[in-house]
Amino acid sequence: MLTRKQHELLIFIDKHLRTTGFSPSFEEMKEALKLKSKSGIHRLITALEERGFLRRRAHRARALEVIRLPENMAPRRGLEANAAGGSAGSQAREVPAAPAGFAPNVIRGNFASHLAGVQKSAHEAAAVHLPLYGRIAAGLPIEALRDSGSSVEYPAALLGTGEHYALEVAGDSMVEAGILDGDTVIIRRGDTAENGAIVVALVDENEVTLKRLRRRGNSIALEAANPHYETRIFGPDRVKVQGRLIGLLRKY
């Protein structure tokens, strides 16, 4: 049995998936359920996963999938659930039964199966497969990193125009920009970028790195987002931009 909050969250996620083709953000879920923090949403999602109603998809942003829905989509009229946050327990109180002779008309159907098919179609239409070029490693240009057998899914609506690829991040040089070791970054291919953008840069034709780009006169600075790493400065002919960061995927 689901608690009231678990039921509300599951129905909200299901409706959002069918409307937009992708799952809501934690901020949207927090506001929809009128919770004070996102930690409550984490607990509710974990509880729904454990009960087999939700599944998180690896290597995708905002990737929740509804596996099944409650048998009764509407809250039960004969029970009042009283539960705190995402706790598994609940207390129920019966209300008076319907008068004798009451015989409601019920239309039965395999709605859960139908909704699963709709959600799958919407998900497939909303996501694209991007080539995964492997981990950023010194001594190799981007093209040499590519593994043609690997790819990641990413919402098409978040890409915009242009050609894109994905890279797995190695190291902690960009942690203060929210990019952690093991993250997958989404890159829009291009040889130019505005000042201050986080880019994939090829240095001296043999080293690939993910850093923030700064132009200083006739020089180019590649800044880390970690005070333990120094800023590296090069002449303009030593650095080639190979793409700009536009998104990030993280597996929890």
Hey, which residues are catalytic here?
173, 211
Dihedral sign, CA of 187, 176, 179, 27?
negative
- Exposure string (b/e) for 212-228, b if CB count within 10 Å is 16 or more? bbeeeeeebbbbbbeee
Distance of CA 162 to the CA centre of its chain: 21
The residues, ordered by sequence, that sit 6+ positions from 126 with a Cβ below 8 Å of its Cβ are 20, 21, 22, 155, 156, 157
Secondary structure E strands in the chain: 54-56, 64-66, 127-135, 151-155, 164-168, 184-188, 198-203, 207-216, 219-223, 232-234, 239-249
Inter-axis angle of helices 38-50 and 4-20, nearest 10? 90
Q: How big is the CA angle at 12 (ends 73 and 5), to the nearest 5 degrees? A: 80
* Residue 52 burial class via C-beta count within 10 angstroms: exposed 0-12, middle 13-18, buried 19 and up: exposed
Backbone angles phi, psi at 64, to 5 degrees: -110, 140
- Both tokens of 49, joined, read 């996963």
Q: How big is the CA angle at 50 (ends 49 and 54), to the nearest 5 degrees? A: 20
